Amino acid sequence: MSNKKEISAAFPFESNFLDVSKSSIHYVDEGDKSAEHSFLLLHGNPTSSYLWRNIIPHLSPLGRVIAPDLIGMGKSGKPDIDYTFKDHIEYMDAFIDKMQLKNIIFVIQDWCSGIGFHYANRFRENVSGIVFLEAIVRSITWSDANLIERFIFKRFRHPKKGYKMIVKKHFFVNRFLPMMTGRKLTKEEMEHYRAPYLKEEHRKPLFVWPSQIAISGTPKFSTDIINAYNAYLPNSEVPKLMFHVKPGMIIKPKEAKQIKATWKNLTAIDLGKGKHYIQETHPHEIGQGIANWYIKTFNQSNK
């Protein structure tokens, strides 16, 4: 594996749309639809299925690969809802059910790790494996964050200051995303990420997400869900693959070490330097790493 392989800005995949709860979910659907396993690639805030564009080709020879956009994000519909964690869970549950996805292998990062882990805890018989990176594995306290992180996320969660930053100034896409990527995103890449949120009224999901993070027990809904799946996952025998980087933002080296020491049936891959949106820094290492793990874990040949 080499960092020298090109990171493409192109998104050469056909768009599909599924009617869900009086709105629509946009998704990419690649690979063999009759394959034994379905890779379900879920993005976080403020990204979209575009985040997985360089990883999808590594997985499509192995099975079905589905990468949806969360409701209100990417090319998905933008209904007049609150865009809470609960809303996103309900829409993704409905999407999975309507798509009739079976033997799911989740590939999850950021907020969608919470959605994927929660699904895996509730529908254990339908999840064959979990790949996670920069994922929400536990609820945290304010003391877990460094000074800069506390300042930024307290500002994000402020009803007025956060709204001004995220909705008015478009901070999440224009500043936070490039800052936490680990390389300079090209003009074409930034245009892809900005496209869903050109209008201020479409930035509501980006603003709501930070308020949903379970910090020091608030909000309770998120805290209860995260605590429940954190009680299940470490002892679960479901095959798990973790990618981690240094310094990281959510899974920092100390957290990665703890997970490696305590989680059952876990494979860990250290990608070296990275921040948060590591699909933009190490996409080919991630894609090939998943492929190698899948072939070894499920005794599949790469045809």
Catalytic residues: 110, 134, 276
| Count of residues making up the chain | 303
> What residue type is assigned to position 126 of the chain?
N
| Neighbouring residues of 36: CB distance < 8 A, sequence distance ≥ 6 | 63, 103, 298
Among residues 166, 149, 151, which one has the least CA distance to residue 206? 166
Whether the bond between 219 and the residue before it is cis, its omega within 30 degrees of 0, is yes
* 194-209 CB burial, b ≥16 within 10 A, e <16: eebbeeeeebbbbbbb
**Phi-psi region at 86: left, alpha or beta (left = phi > 0; alpha = psi -120 to 50):** alpha
CB 27 within 8 A of CB 48: no
Tokens 């900005």 sit at which residue?
194
Torsion of CA 274, 44, 292, 103, to 10 degrees: 160
By CB neighbour count within 10 A (0-12 exposed, 13-18 middle, 19+ buried), where does 148 fall? exposed
Q: What are phi and psi of 172, to 5 degrees?
A: -60, -45
In the DSSP assignment, the letter for residue 131 is E
Q: Where are the beta strands (DSSP E) in the chain?
A: 16-20, 23-30, 38-42, 64-68, 104-110, 127-135, 240-247, 266-274
